[in-house]
Structures are given as C-alpha cells and as structure tokens.
Amino acid sequence: MDLLEEKVSSVKERLKAEFLADSRPWVVTFSGGKDSTAVLHLTIEMLLEMKKEGTPQNKKLYVVSSDTGVEMPLIEDYVADKLDQIRNFAKKEHLDIEVTKLSPKVTESFWTLLIGKGYPSPNQTFRWCTDRMKIRPATYFLKKLTDQNRSILMLLGVRSDESASRAASIEKRNDNHRGFSMHPDIPNAFVYSPIKDWSNAEVWTFLSTHPAPWGRHDDMMQLYDKGSGEGDCNIALNPQSQSCGKTRFGCWVCTVVSQDKSMANMLKNPEDMWMQPLHEFRNLLEVYRNDPSKRQPRRRNGQKSIGPFKLSTRKELLEKLLSTERDLHKELAGKTLISDEEIVQIQEEWLNDGDFFESAIKIAKKYGRDVAYNSVKAFNEDEQEFISALCEQNGINKELIDYLMQCEHSYRHHTIRYKVFQEFETIIERFAKGQLNEV
C-alpha cells in the first residue's frame, strides 16, 4: 500500500472509531472546494463501510453549506448540484444524512446592507460581509444543533499545508486526547480536522483516483482549472479561517480582493464570458466605494467623515443591478441576482432615509420585477398621486421635491436645523444645473 492509501485507510479507521464512540452528531462543512469535498468523501465512505459490515449508524451526519446569495453563478450551480447528488445518494443508500444550505437573514444580506443601508462595498479595513453573510448564519445553526444535542463535532477540511498562518493556527489549537478542539464561539461544539496533515498534492491525488461516492469529482477539477487561485471561501463554517478575501470561489461582488482573479480567469473561457457584466458591476462597486461624491459626507452617527453611499448612489446601483439581471435573463436561466425579499427590505431601509415614493419597488417594476409590497409608512397611492398632480400643475419637478423631502427627513433628529436651508439651496442649485444626481 502506498503512503496515500495508508493515510486514507487510517483516516477512515479513525473516523469510524470516533463516530461510534459517542452520540454527538457530526457536521461536515461543505464549501464545494477540494478540501471539504475530500473530508465529506472520506466520511461518507466510512459510513458505507459501516453499513457493509452491518454496523448501524448511531447518529445523524449533517452536511452544511453556505449560500451568501451572491455566490458566483457557476459555483452556486455546482454546489447546488453536489448537494442534490449527496441528498439523493444518502436516500438511495439509506444513510442518515441531512443536507442543509445556510443563508443570511434578509436584513443582513449583501444587497440589503449595500443598497438598502448604503454600506460601502467591503474592503480589508471594513469587511462587514463575512460576519453577516457567513459566520452568523452558521453560528446560529450550529448553536441550535448543539443545544438540541448537548454537543456536536464539526469536521473541517483545514490543512497545515495550506499556508504558514493556517499551520500556525492548527499548531496553536488545544486539541484534547481525541484530537478535538473546542469551537471558539460555540460552547460544547468541538472541531476535528481529519486531513490536517495531508499535502495539497495528496488531496488532489486522492480526489482524482477515488471516484466520489455520490457521483464524480471531475466537474470540480474543471472548475479549479478555469480559475487559478488557491483556497476556497469556506470561512462560513470554519472557525480557523482568517479571511475569505483572497479566495478563488468567493462571492462575485467581492471587493475585498483588489482584483477578482478567479472571475477574470473564468472570463477567458468562451462558455463563461457571459459573466462579464457581473465582473463590470463588481468593478463599479469598487470605483464607487472610493469616490467621495458617491458617499454621504457624514456617517450615520452624524460624525463628519465619509459616510454610507448616498441614496442617489443606492438608487443608481439598484437600477444597474436590475438592468444587468435583465440583460442576463437567458444565461441566468430563471435565477435572479437579487431576491424579492431583498428588494422589499431595501425599500424599508430607504423609507428610513426619507424615500417616500417607494422608489425601490418602482425601479424593480421598471425592470420587470413585480414585487409584492405592503406600504405602511410611505405616502399611499392617493397621496403620491396628489403630490405628483400638484407638482405637474405648478410646473415643479417631482424628483426635486423628493430630494428636498429626503433632505428635510435627514434632519429629523437634529435640534439645530438651520443647515437644512443651506442644503435646500445646494439641492435647488444642483437641480438647476442638471446635477441632481450629485447631491
């Protein structure tokens, strides 16, 4: 037996012994990348061997995957397909496996925070996305599972060979006598890395010489071939990950990396070129982030400093996103870039910023998205019509009135309000010069 085969059988033996040693459920965190695929593959093979020997499966295996809602479409399709294959395989083989996809709450999704609240596109210094979109949904799920079962064991695909910092973090872990370490944030959740001493080459050799129990691995290899990065963005479920910014399979909107190399590499393939508009949108997010004219001159706490995206910028971004979605209608094959729930939530956020005309819902409609929305705070249809008619009768631009109302609304908590008149003058002046979008 060669060295790799020895490692494979020793990992499976060890997994089996640990699996049977107690009743705590196991959770394999699956990102679709090679390392988590290898761990899942080994774990499922171990279950199959137990079944063959007639050893009953004494507890459930959870396979959990993260879906941020802004995954690169090719990766989203790939992971969804794998999860279906695993689900079907488990059913066919009567294995007690539950497959779950974890997503952020609509109030914490990428579009709600960026377009709704105006958070600037994330970067290394303000990387608000990972926690909201990945860590929180995973922590919520894992905590609940731990509470229900008193304890769980998470199997991760981390390896010392990945990087010096990964090796240091593995080394620093305080493993117990079974090789498990405590999860840093979830009491009674333990973490185990069965392939921590495997090399990159060993993982690839294993995957290319052992067919996946549920189907195939060659489609994953093709995906890796299309890009040329290293790790995968599995921080979602992985307490040891430092960052998912420098990833290969990250979100298509990711501005944490200065250049989205994986997308750039994929765009070299004729069959993936259709994603070019997504790449352009992502680049626009980076440009807008660094353009003070697209940002408010104050933070939300009133501090004078570069603040969130202006409402006008957010409207522009929603328009561009929806027009990109409409242009890619055929390629997206029924999928959307932003959900109805997110559009409704964006509208809620905009109402707080003084958008009384339900612009998000109207912009969505313009691009063919008929979003059901029960207005509670905005002007009702009659009031909106009345204001529109009044503007028309008096030859006043409704957009100008909208801007003035937003401005007035932004001062609602201020005790000293004289500056509102100065801002009114600026708005009217910019309007007269045709520069309203710069307000």
Residues at the contact surface with ligand SF4, assessed by CB under 6 A: 68, 122, 127, 129-130, 133-134, 233, 244-245, 247, 250-251, 253-254, 256
Least distance to ligand SF4, CB of residue 235, Å:
7
User: Measuring CA to CA, which residue among 352, 294, 320, 284 is closest to residue 107?
Assistant: 352
Nearest-CB residue to ligand SF4? 250
For the beta carbon of residue 415, count every other beta carbon within 10 angstroms. Answer: 5
User: Measuring CA to CA, which residue among 409, 408, 370, 124 is closest to residue 254?
Assistant: 124
CA 244, CA 251: separation in Å to the nearest integer?
A: 10
Least distance to ligand SF4, CB of residue 245, Å:
5
Tokens of 337: 């870039």
Least distance to ligand SF4, CB of residue 340, Å:
22
Least distance to ligand SF4, CB of residue 131, Å:
9
Tokens of 351: 């109402």
Nearer of residues 133 and 237 to ligand SF4, judged by Cβ: 133
**3-state percent breakdown (helix, strand, coil) of the chain, nearest 5:** 55, 5, 40
Least distance to ligand SF4, CB of residue 233, Å:
5
Nearer of residues 215 and 277 to ligand SF4, judged by Cβ: 277
Nearer of residues 256 and 275 to ligand SF4, judged by Cβ: 256
Q: Are 102 and 269 in contact (CB under 8 A)?
A: no
Find all residues with CB under 8 Å of 205, minimum gap 6, and list them.
4
Tokens of 99: 């497959």
Q: Return the DSSP state at 182.
A: E
Nearer of residues 127 and 326 to ligand SF4, judged by Cβ: 127
Distances (CA, A) of 231 to 3, 136, 239, 262: 24, 21, 15, 11
Query: How far from each other are the two terminal CA atoms of the chain, in whole angstroms?
Result: 71
Q: Return the DSSP state at 288.
A: H
Nearer of residues 41 and 166 to ligand SF4, judged by Cβ: 166
Least distance to ligand SF4, CB of residue 200, Å:
21
Nearer of residues 29 and 130 to ligand SF4, judged by Cβ: 130
Least distance to ligand SF4, CB of residue 250, Å:
3
Q: Are 154 and 240 in contact (CB under 8 A)?
A: no
Q: Are strands 181-182 and 97-102 parallel, antiparallel or unpaired?
A: unpaired
DSSP 89-153: HHHHHT--EEEEEE---GGGSHHIIIIIS-PPPP-SSS--HHIIIIIHHHHHHHHHHHHHHS-EE
Least distance to ligand SF4, CB of residue 128, Å:
8
The phi and psi torsions of 191 (rounded to 5 degrees) equal -125, 140
Three-state secondary structure call for residue 304 = strand
Tokens of 437: 């979008």
Least distance to ligand SF4, CB of residue 104, Å:
10
Nearer of residues 262 and 313 to ligand SF4, judged by Cβ: 262
Nearer of residues 250 and 308 to ligand SF4, judged by Cβ: 250
Nearer of residues 260 and 355 to ligand SF4, judged by Cβ: 260
Nearer of residues 247 and 347 to ligand SF4, judged by Cβ: 247
Displacement of CA 28 from its chain's centroid (Å): 19
Least distance to ligand SF4, CB of residue 199, Å:
25
